[in-house]
Structure 1
Amino acid sequence: MTDFWDELRRSTQARIGLGRAGDSLPTERVLEFRVAHAAARDAVHEPLDVDAFAAGVAGVGLGAPAVVRSRVRDRGEYLRRPDLGRVPETLEPVARTDADIGVVLADGLSPRALTDHGVPLLGALAEALSDRYRIAPPVVATGARVALGDHIGKALGVRTLVVVIGERPGLSVADSLGIYLTHRPRPGRADSDRNCVSNIHPPDGLGYRDAARVVSVLVDGAHRLGRSGVALKDTSRSDPLASPPIILEL
Protein backbone atom coordinates (compact mmCIF):
# COMPACT_ATOMS: atom_id res chain seq x y z
CA MET A 1 0.00 0.00 0.00
CA THR A 2 1.37 3.42 -0.99
CA ASP A 3 1.54 6.05 1.76
CA PHE A 4 2.21 9.78 1.84
CA TRP A 5 5.97 9.33 2.42
CA ASP A 6 6.80 6.97 -0.45
CA GLU A 7 7.45 9.68 -3.03
CA LEU A 8 9.50 11.79 -0.62
CA ARG A 9 11.69 8.83 0.39
CA ARG A 10 12.77 8.45 -3.24
CA SER A 11 14.34 11.93 -3.16
CA THR A 12 16.37 11.72 0.05
CA GLN A 13 18.56 9.38 2.07
CA ALA A 14 17.27 10.91 5.31
CA ARG A 15 15.09 8.83 7.57
CA ILE A 16 11.62 10.29 7.18
CA GLY A 17 8.14 8.93 7.75
CA LEU A 18 9.36 5.98 9.80
CA GLY A 19 5.94 5.09 11.14
CA ARG A 20 5.12 3.63 14.51
CA ALA A 21 4.28 0.37 16.21
CA GLY A 22 2.50 1.17 19.43
CA ASP A 23 4.73 3.60 21.35
CA SER A 24 7.84 2.75 19.35
CA LEU A 25 9.19 2.44 15.82
CA PRO A 26 8.44 -0.56 13.61
CA THR A 27 10.98 -3.34 14.06
CA GLU A 28 12.12 -2.99 10.44
CA ARG A 29 13.07 0.66 10.98
CA VAL A 30 14.91 -0.10 14.22
CA LEU A 31 16.96 -2.78 12.47
CA GLU A 32 17.71 -0.42 9.55
CA PHE A 33 19.01 2.13 12.04
CA ARG A 34 21.25 -0.44 13.74
CA VAL A 35 22.68 -1.57 10.40
CA ALA A 36 23.43 2.03 9.40
CA HIS A 37 25.02 2.74 12.79
CA ALA A 38 27.21 -0.36 12.49
CA ALA A 39 28.27 0.65 8.97
CA ALA A 40 29.26 4.11 10.20
CA ARG A 41 31.31 2.67 13.08
CA ASP A 42 33.01 0.18 10.76
CA ALA A 43 33.85 2.96 8.28
CA VAL A 44 35.64 4.88 11.04
CA HIS A 45 37.62 1.95 12.42
CA GLU A 46 38.40 -0.06 9.28
CA PRO A 47 42.08 0.61 8.44
CA LEU A 48 43.19 1.69 5.00
CA ASP A 49 45.02 -1.03 3.03
CA VAL A 50 47.88 1.31 2.19
CA ASP A 51 49.76 -0.99 -0.19
CA ALA A 52 46.72 -1.84 -2.30
CA PHE A 53 45.53 1.75 -2.33
CA ALA A 54 48.96 3.13 -3.25
CA ALA A 55 49.12 0.68 -6.17
CA GLY A 56 45.80 2.01 -7.44
CA VAL A 57 47.00 5.60 -7.05
CA ALA A 58 50.16 4.84 -9.02
CA GLY A 59 47.98 3.50 -11.83
CA VAL A 60 46.47 6.97 -12.37
CA GLY A 61 49.75 8.04 -13.95
CA LEU A 62 50.85 10.94 -11.73
CA GLY A 63 53.78 9.03 -10.29
CA ALA A 64 54.37 6.64 -7.42
CA PRO A 65 52.81 8.06 -4.25
CA ALA A 66 54.75 8.88 -1.11
CA VAL A 67 53.20 7.52 2.08
CA VAL A 68 53.21 9.48 5.35
CA ARG A 69 51.39 9.17 8.63
CA SER A 70 50.51 11.52 11.44
CA ARG A 71 51.75 11.24 15.01
CA VAL A 72 48.78 9.17 16.20
CA ARG A 73 49.68 5.65 17.26
CA ASP A 74 46.36 3.94 16.62
CA ARG A 75 42.77 4.61 15.64
CA GLY A 76 41.64 5.14 19.20
CA GLU A 77 44.20 7.89 19.70
CA TYR A 78 43.20 9.38 16.36
CA LEU A 79 39.66 9.86 17.65
CA ARG A 80 40.76 11.17 21.05
CA ARG A 81 43.57 13.46 19.89
CA PRO A 82 42.70 15.39 16.73
CA ASP A 83 45.77 17.59 17.33
CA LEU A 84 48.13 14.66 16.71
CA GLY A 85 46.41 13.93 13.40
CA ARG A 86 47.41 17.38 12.17
CA VAL A 87 51.15 16.84 12.59
CA PRO A 88 53.31 14.44 10.53
CA GLU A 89 55.43 11.76 12.13
CA THR A 90 58.02 12.46 9.43
CA LEU A 91 58.09 14.07 6.00
CA GLU A 92 61.15 12.21 4.74
CA PRO A 93 59.22 10.33 2.00
CA VAL A 94 57.96 13.64 0.53
CA ALA A 95 60.25 15.09 -2.14
CA ARG A 96 60.19 18.76 -3.07
CA THR A 97 58.89 19.41 -6.59
CA ASP A 98 58.42 22.30 -9.01
CA ALA A 99 54.75 21.38 -9.49
CA ASP A 100 51.83 23.79 -9.23
CA ILE A 101 49.43 21.48 -7.42
CA GLY A 102 49.86 18.81 -4.78
CA VAL A 103 47.27 16.15 -3.97
CA VAL A 104 47.05 14.44 -0.58
CA LEU A 105 44.80 11.39 -0.25
CA ALA A 106 43.96 11.07 3.45
CA ASP A 107 42.02 8.40 5.30
CA GLY A 108 40.37 10.89 7.67
CA LEU A 109 37.28 9.71 9.52
CA SER A 110 36.29 7.23 6.80
CA PRO A 111 39.11 5.16 5.32
CA ARG A 112 36.37 3.21 3.57
CA ALA A 113 35.44 6.33 1.58
CA LEU A 114 39.03 6.70 0.37
CA THR A 115 39.14 3.03 -0.58
CA ASP A 116 35.86 3.24 -2.49
CA HIS A 117 36.27 6.58 -4.25
CA GLY A 118 39.84 7.88 -3.88
CA VAL A 119 41.41 6.48 -7.04
CA PRO A 120 38.62 7.39 -9.52
CA LEU A 121 38.34 10.85 -7.96
CA LEU A 122 42.08 11.34 -8.35
CA GLY A 123 41.74 10.35 -12.01
CA ALA A 124 39.00 12.94 -12.50
CA LEU A 125 41.11 15.63 -10.83
CA ALA A 126 44.08 14.79 -13.05
CA GLU A 127 41.88 14.99 -16.14
CA ALA A 128 40.45 18.36 -15.10
CA LEU A 129 43.73 20.00 -14.10
CA SER A 130 46.67 18.47 -15.95
CA ASP A 131 46.15 20.46 -19.15
CA ARG A 132 46.94 23.72 -17.31
CA TYR A 133 48.92 22.80 -14.21
CA ARG A 134 51.78 20.55 -13.21
CA ILE A 135 50.60 18.05 -10.60
CA ALA A 136 53.08 16.58 -8.12
CA PRO A 137 53.17 12.84 -7.43
CA PRO A 138 50.36 12.17 -4.91
CA VAL A 139 50.86 11.65 -1.19
CA VAL A 140 48.87 9.06 0.77
CA ALA A 141 48.40 10.07 4.42
CA THR A 142 47.09 7.91 7.26
CA GLY A 143 45.83 8.92 10.68
CA ALA A 144 45.26 12.24 8.96
CA ARG A 145 43.30 15.38 9.70
CA VAL A 146 42.95 18.10 7.06
CA ALA A 147 45.69 20.32 8.48
CA LEU A 148 48.28 17.57 8.03
CA GLY A 149 48.18 18.59 4.39
CA ASP A 150 49.63 22.01 5.22
CA HIS A 151 52.91 20.40 6.28
CA ILE A 152 52.91 18.17 3.20
CA GLY A 153 52.12 21.05 0.85
CA LYS A 154 55.01 23.10 2.21
CA ALA A 155 57.37 20.13 1.88
CA LEU A 156 56.24 19.61 -1.74
CA GLY A 157 56.71 23.29 -2.52
CA VAL A 158 53.41 23.53 -4.42
CA ARG A 159 51.33 26.68 -4.87
CA THR A 160 48.00 24.95 -4.23
CA LEU A 161 47.20 21.85 -2.20
CA VAL A 162 44.17 19.61 -2.66
CA VAL A 163 43.41 17.29 0.27
CA VAL A 164 41.01 14.45 -0.50
CA ILE A 165 39.82 13.03 2.82
CA GLY A 166 37.24 10.63 4.21
CA GLU A 167 34.39 12.58 5.77
CA ARG A 168 32.71 11.77 9.08
CA PRO A 169 30.29 8.87 8.41
CA GLY A 170 26.63 9.47 9.11
CA LEU A 171 23.61 7.24 9.42
CA SER A 172 22.75 7.68 5.75
CA VAL A 173 26.24 7.78 4.17
CA ALA A 174 29.36 6.03 5.45
CA ASP A 175 31.64 6.45 2.42
CA SER A 176 31.65 10.15 1.54
CA LEU A 177 34.78 12.07 0.54
CA GLY A 178 35.53 15.75 0.98
CA ILE A 179 38.07 17.93 -0.81
CA TYR A 180 39.84 20.82 0.92
CA LEU A 181 41.72 23.30 -1.25
CA THR A 182 44.40 25.54 0.28
CA HIS A 183 46.44 28.07 -1.71
CA ARG A 184 50.02 28.56 -0.53
CA PRO A 185 49.79 25.82 2.12
CA ARG A 186 51.91 26.08 5.24
CA PRO A 187 51.56 25.04 8.89
CA GLY A 188 49.27 27.38 10.79
CA ARG A 189 46.70 27.89 8.06
CA ALA A 190 43.17 28.39 9.42
CA ASP A 191 39.99 26.72 8.19
CA SER A 192 38.98 30.11 6.77
CA ASP A 193 41.91 29.77 4.35
CA ARG A 194 40.38 26.71 2.72
CA ASN A 195 37.61 25.91 0.26
CA CYS A 196 35.65 22.70 0.71
CA VAL A 197 33.83 20.46 -1.76
CA SER A 198 31.94 17.77 0.14
CA ASN A 199 29.51 14.86 -0.19
CA ILE A 200 31.44 13.07 -2.95
CA HIS A 201 30.08 9.53 -3.20
CA PRO A 202 28.43 8.62 -6.50
CA PRO A 203 25.86 7.55 -7.46
CA ASP A 204 23.89 9.16 -4.60
CA GLY A 205 26.26 12.05 -3.86
CA LEU A 206 28.40 14.40 -5.95
CA GLY A 207 30.09 12.63 -8.87
CA TYR A 208 33.83 12.52 -9.53
CA ARG A 209 33.80 14.71 -12.63
CA ASP A 210 31.45 17.25 -11.07
CA ALA A 211 33.67 17.50 -8.01
CA ALA A 212 36.78 17.84 -10.19
CA ARG A 213 35.11 20.60 -12.21
CA VAL A 214 34.38 22.60 -9.04
CA VAL A 215 37.97 22.12 -7.87
CA SER A 216 39.29 23.19 -11.27
CA VAL A 217 37.32 26.45 -11.14
CA LEU A 218 38.48 27.11 -7.58
CA VAL A 219 42.12 26.44 -8.47
CA ASP A 220 41.90 28.89 -11.37
CA GLY A 221 40.37 31.51 -9.05
CA ALA A 222 42.94 30.91 -6.31
CA HIS A 223 45.81 31.39 -8.75
CA ARG A 224 44.33 34.63 -10.03
CA LEU A 225 43.57 35.98 -6.56
CA GLY A 226 46.63 34.63 -4.80
CA ARG A 227 44.65 33.10 -1.94
CA SER A 228 41.83 30.69 -1.13
CA GLY A 229 39.18 30.42 1.57
CA VAL A 230 36.51 32.96 2.44
CA ALA A 231 37.81 35.38 -0.20
CA LEU A 232 37.09 32.88 -2.96
CA LYS A 233 33.50 31.92 -3.82
CA ASP A 234 32.51 29.06 -6.11
CA THR A 235 29.82 29.66 -8.72
CA SER A 236 30.46 26.62 -10.91
CA ARG A 237 27.56 24.56 -9.61
CA SER A 238 25.00 27.20 -10.55
CA ASP A 239 26.58 28.03 -13.92
CA PRO A 240 26.58 25.27 -16.54
CA LEU A 241 29.43 27.05 -18.35
CA ALA A 242 31.55 26.93 -15.16
CA SER A 243 32.16 30.67 -15.06
CA PRO A 244 35.04 31.94 -12.90
CA PRO A 245 34.37 32.02 -9.17
CA ILE A 246 33.26 35.21 -7.48
CA ILE A 247 36.29 36.84 -5.87
CA LEU A 248 35.77 39.06 -2.85
CA GLU A 249 38.49 41.62 -2.31
CA LEU A 250 39.02 41.82 1.45
Structure 2
Amino acid sequence: MQDRLRPWGRVLGLVLAVWLAWAGGWGRALAMAPPSPLPPGAERWTLRGVKTDRKVVALTFDISWGTVMPPKVFAILEREHVPATMFVSGPWAGRQGADLVRRMAAAGMEVESHGWAHVNYTGLSDQGVQDNIRRAGAVIRQLTGRDPRFVRPPNGDFSPRTLAAARAVGYTTVTWGTDSLDWMNPGVDTIIRRVVTRVHPGDIVLLHASDTCKQTDLALPAIIRDLRARGYQLVTLEQLLQTGTPDFRD
Protein backbone atom coordinates (compact mmCIF):
# COMPACT_ATOMS: atom_id res chain seq x y z
CA MET A 1 0.00 0.00 0.00
CA GLN A 2 2.72 2.46 0.93
CA ASP A 3 4.55 1.63 -2.33
CA ARG A 4 1.42 2.50 -4.31
CA LEU A 5 1.03 5.85 -2.49
CA ARG A 6 4.59 7.00 -2.96
CA PRO A 7 4.17 8.11 -6.63
CA TRP A 8 1.09 10.16 -5.67
CA GLY A 9 3.03 11.71 -2.81
CA ARG A 10 5.75 12.77 -5.20
CA VAL A 11 3.14 14.24 -7.58
CA LEU A 12 1.43 16.14 -4.79
CA GLY A 13 4.78 17.41 -3.55
CA LEU A 14 5.66 18.61 -7.03
CA VAL A 15 2.29 20.37 -7.40
CA LEU A 16 2.73 22.03 -4.00
CA ALA A 17 6.25 23.22 -4.89
CA VAL A 18 5.04 24.67 -8.20
CA TRP A 19 2.13 26.42 -6.48
CA LEU A 20 4.38 27.94 -3.80
CA ALA A 21 6.83 29.17 -6.42
CA TRP A 22 4.00 30.72 -8.42
CA ALA A 23 2.39 32.30 -5.35
CA GLY A 24 5.69 33.68 -4.17
CA GLY A 25 6.41 35.18 -7.55
CA TRP A 26 2.92 36.66 -7.72
CA GLY A 27 3.35 38.16 -4.28
CA ARG A 28 6.65 39.68 -5.30
CA ALA A 29 5.06 41.03 -8.47
CA LEU A 30 2.34 42.71 -6.42
CA ALA A 31 4.94 44.20 -4.11
CA MET A 32 6.87 45.54 -7.09
CA ALA A 33 3.78 46.79 -8.96
CA PRO A 34 3.88 50.50 -9.82
CA PRO A 35 1.55 52.89 -7.99
CA SER A 36 -1.85 53.72 -9.43
CA PRO A 37 -1.58 55.69 -12.67
CA LEU A 38 -1.78 59.47 -12.51
CA PRO A 39 -4.79 61.26 -14.02
CA PRO A 40 -4.61 61.69 -17.82
CA GLY A 41 -2.12 64.41 -18.69
CA ALA A 42 -0.40 64.38 -15.30
CA GLU A 43 2.67 62.80 -16.85
CA ARG A 44 3.43 65.98 -18.77
CA TRP A 45 1.54 68.67 -16.90
CA THR A 46 1.75 70.37 -13.50
CA LEU A 47 -0.77 70.60 -10.69
CA ARG A 48 -2.62 73.91 -10.97
CA GLY A 49 -5.60 73.40 -8.70
CA VAL A 50 -8.52 71.05 -8.16
CA LYS A 51 -11.78 70.60 -9.99
CA THR A 52 -14.47 71.34 -7.45
CA ASP A 53 -17.66 73.33 -6.97
CA ARG A 54 -16.65 74.29 -3.45
CA LYS A 55 -15.38 77.82 -2.95
CA VAL A 56 -11.96 76.88 -1.65
CA VAL A 57 -8.63 78.41 -2.60
CA ALA A 58 -5.01 77.90 -1.59
CA LEU A 59 -2.82 80.97 -1.15
CA THR A 60 0.76 79.90 -1.83
CA PHE A 61 3.95 81.90 -1.29
CA ASP A 62 7.40 81.39 -2.80
CA ILE A 63 10.32 82.42 -0.60
CA SER A 64 13.89 82.36 -1.90
CA TRP A 65 15.63 84.94 0.26
CA GLY A 66 15.18 87.85 2.63
CA THR A 67 14.62 88.88 6.22
CA VAL A 68 12.10 91.72 5.79
CA MET A 69 9.15 90.51 3.68
CA PRO A 70 8.93 86.90 4.95
CA PRO A 71 8.11 87.84 8.58
CA LYS A 72 5.71 90.58 7.41
CA VAL A 73 3.72 88.12 5.32
CA PHE A 74 3.78 85.50 8.08
CA ALA A 75 2.50 88.03 10.63
CA ILE A 76 -0.49 88.86 8.40
CA LEU A 77 -1.32 85.21 7.76
CA GLU A 78 -1.04 84.38 11.43
CA ARG A 79 -3.16 87.37 12.46
CA GLU A 80 -5.84 86.51 9.91
CA HIS A 81 -5.68 82.78 10.71
CA VAL A 82 -4.91 81.83 7.12
CA PRO A 83 -3.44 78.31 6.69
CA ALA A 84 -1.30 79.15 3.67
CA THR A 85 1.26 77.01 1.86
CA MET A 86 4.86 78.22 1.78
CA PHE A 87 7.23 77.01 -0.95
CA VAL A 88 10.65 77.70 0.54
CA SER A 89 14.11 77.31 -0.95
CA GLY A 90 16.57 75.12 0.91
CA PRO A 91 19.30 77.74 1.46
CA TRP A 92 16.85 80.33 2.80
CA ALA A 93 15.06 77.83 5.02
CA GLY A 94 18.31 76.48 6.45
CA ARG A 95 19.91 79.85 7.13
CA GLN A 96 17.97 83.13 7.12
CA GLY A 97 14.56 81.57 7.62
CA ALA A 98 15.15 78.60 9.90
CA ASP A 99 13.30 80.00 12.93
CA LEU A 100 10.50 81.41 10.77
CA VAL A 101 9.98 78.08 9.00
CA ARG A 102 9.60 76.38 12.37
CA ARG A 103 7.05 79.00 13.41
CA MET A 104 5.15 78.57 10.14
CA ALA A 105 4.87 74.84 10.67
CA ALA A 106 3.85 75.32 14.31
CA ALA A 107 1.14 77.76 13.19
CA GLY A 108 -0.42 75.12 10.93
CA MET A 109 0.96 76.33 7.65
CA GLU A 110 2.11 73.85 5.05
CA VAL A 111 5.81 74.08 4.17
CA GLU A 112 6.74 72.69 0.76
CA SER A 113 9.81 72.83 -1.47
CA HIS A 114 11.03 75.53 -3.82
CA GLY A 115 14.15 73.48 -4.47
CA TRP A 116 17.72 74.36 -3.67
CA ALA A 117 19.52 76.45 -6.29
CA HIS A 118 17.14 78.95 -7.89
CA VAL A 119 17.79 77.77 -11.46
CA ASN A 120 15.59 76.50 -14.27
CA TYR A 121 15.12 72.76 -13.92
CA THR A 122 15.05 72.25 -17.68
CA GLY A 123 18.71 73.25 -17.70
CA LEU A 124 19.61 70.48 -15.24
CA SER A 125 20.09 66.78 -15.82
CA ASP A 126 17.60 64.37 -14.26
CA GLN A 127 20.10 63.72 -11.49
CA GLY A 128 20.60 67.46 -11.06
CA VAL A 129 16.85 68.01 -10.63
CA GLN A 130 16.64 65.20 -8.09
CA ASP A 131 19.67 66.37 -6.13
CA ASN A 132 18.22 69.89 -6.05
CA ILE A 133 14.91 68.61 -4.69
CA ARG A 134 16.37 66.13 -2.23
CA ARG A 135 18.75 68.66 -0.72
CA ALA A 136 15.98 71.16 -0.02
CA GLY A 137 13.68 68.42 1.25
CA ALA A 138 16.22 67.32 3.83
CA VAL A 139 16.36 70.84 5.28
CA ILE A 140 12.58 71.18 5.39
CA ARG A 141 12.21 67.79 7.06
CA GLN A 142 14.77 68.75 9.70
CA LEU A 143 12.95 72.00 10.49
CA THR A 144 9.33 70.84 10.34
CA GLY A 145 9.48 67.13 11.11
CA ARG A 146 7.66 66.21 7.91
CA ASP A 147 8.69 65.33 4.37
CA PRO A 148 7.51 67.80 1.74
CA ARG A 149 5.35 66.25 -0.99
CA PHE A 150 5.28 69.07 -3.49
CA VAL A 151 7.88 71.13 -5.32
CA ARG A 152 7.39 74.40 -7.15
CA PRO A 153 10.21 74.72 -9.68
CA PRO A 154 12.04 78.05 -9.74
CA ASN A 155 10.55 80.45 -12.30
CA GLY A 156 7.77 77.95 -12.92
CA ASP A 157 10.10 76.19 -15.36
CA PHE A 158 9.39 72.53 -16.13
CA SER A 159 9.19 69.92 -18.85
CA PRO A 160 7.85 66.35 -19.02
CA ARG A 161 11.38 65.20 -18.23
CA THR A 162 11.70 67.30 -15.06
CA LEU A 163 8.22 66.28 -13.93
CA ALA A 164 9.25 62.64 -14.23
CA ALA A 165 12.51 63.29 -12.38
CA ALA A 166 10.59 64.93 -9.51
CA ARG A 167 8.08 62.07 -9.38
CA ALA A 168 10.93 59.56 -9.19
CA VAL A 169 11.92 61.04 -5.81
CA GLY A 170 8.33 61.30 -4.56
CA TYR A 171 7.37 64.87 -5.47
CA THR A 172 4.46 66.33 -7.40
CA THR A 173 5.32 69.48 -9.35
CA VAL A 174 3.00 72.39 -8.55
CA THR A 175 2.62 75.68 -10.40
CA TRP A 176 -0.55 77.79 -10.10
CA GLY A 177 -3.88 78.77 -11.55
CA THR A 178 -3.76 82.50 -10.74
CA ASP A 179 -0.57 84.57 -10.83
CA SER A 180 -0.65 87.74 -8.73
CA LEU A 181 2.46 89.12 -10.51
CA ASP A 182 3.46 90.59 -7.14
CA TRP A 183 7.10 89.79 -7.96
CA MET A 184 6.95 92.55 -10.59
CA ASN A 185 5.84 95.15 -8.00
CA PRO A 186 3.10 96.40 -10.37
CA GLY A 187 1.24 98.33 -7.68
CA VAL A 188 -0.86 97.22 -4.72
CA ASP A 189 -4.19 97.72 -6.50
CA THR A 190 -3.00 95.71 -9.50
CA ILE A 191 -1.96 92.77 -7.31
CA ILE A 192 -5.30 92.78 -5.49
CA ARG A 193 -7.31 93.09 -8.70
CA ARG A 194 -5.42 90.30 -10.47
CA VAL A 195 -6.15 87.86 -7.65
CA VAL A 196 -9.75 88.68 -6.82
CA THR A 197 -10.93 88.90 -10.44
CA ARG A 198 -9.21 85.69 -11.58
CA VAL A 199 -9.70 83.39 -8.59
CA HIS A 200 -12.06 80.43 -8.98
CA PRO A 201 -13.12 77.42 -6.90
CA GLY A 202 -10.20 75.06 -6.37
CA ASP A 203 -7.61 77.64 -7.39
CA ILE A 204 -3.94 77.80 -6.43
CA VAL A 205 -2.82 81.43 -6.17
CA LEU A 206 0.82 82.37 -6.64
CA LEU A 207 2.24 85.03 -4.32
CA HIS A 208 5.77 85.75 -3.09
CA ALA A 209 7.38 86.69 0.21
CA SER A 210 10.99 87.31 -0.77
CA ASP A 211 12.50 90.74 -0.14
CA THR A 212 12.46 91.59 -3.85
CA CYS A 213 8.66 91.79 -3.57
CA LYS A 214 7.90 95.17 -2.03
CA GLN A 215 4.09 95.25 -2.18
CA THR A 216 2.85 91.77 -1.21
CA ASP A 217 2.30 92.64 2.44
CA LEU A 218 0.34 95.74 1.45
CA ALA A 219 -1.95 93.82 -0.90
CA LEU A 220 -2.42 90.68 1.18
CA PRO A 221 -4.92 91.94 3.80
CA ALA A 222 -7.29 93.21 1.12
CA ILE A 223 -6.98 89.95 -0.84
CA ILE A 224 -7.87 87.92 2.24
CA ARG A 225 -10.83 90.18 3.12
CA ASP A 226 -12.18 90.17 -0.43
CA LEU A 227 -11.94 86.41 -0.88
CA ARG A 228 -13.66 85.76 2.42
CA ALA A 229 -16.38 88.30 1.59
CA ARG A 230 -17.00 86.32 -1.61
CA GLY A 231 -17.45 83.16 0.42
CA TYR A 232 -14.08 81.56 -0.18
CA GLN A 233 -12.47 79.30 2.40
CA LEU A 234 -8.68 79.66 2.53
CA VAL A 235 -6.91 76.32 2.89
CA THR A 236 -3.52 74.67 2.52
CA LEU A 237 -2.58 72.81 -0.64
CA GLU A 238 -3.08 69.41 0.98
CA GLN A 239 -6.49 70.48 2.27
CA LEU A 240 -7.39 71.77 -1.20
CA LEU A 241 -6.65 68.38 -2.73
CA GLN A 242 -9.22 66.80 -0.42
CA THR A 243 -12.02 68.88 -1.93
CA GLY A 244 -11.96 67.69 -5.54
CA THR A 245 -10.12 66.11 -8.44
CA PRO A 246 -6.52 67.27 -9.02
CA ASP A 247 -6.35 69.58 -12.02
CA PHE A 248 -3.23 68.90 -14.08
CA ARG A 249 -2.66 71.31 -16.97
CA ASP A 250 0.17 72.52 -19.17
Normalising to structure 2: TM-score of the pair?
0.26
Which structure has the greater CA radius of gyration?
2
Flag the structure with more relative contact order, 1 or 2, with Cα contacts below 8 A and sequence separation at least 6.
2
Normalising to structure 1: TM-score of the pair?
0.26
More helix by share: 2
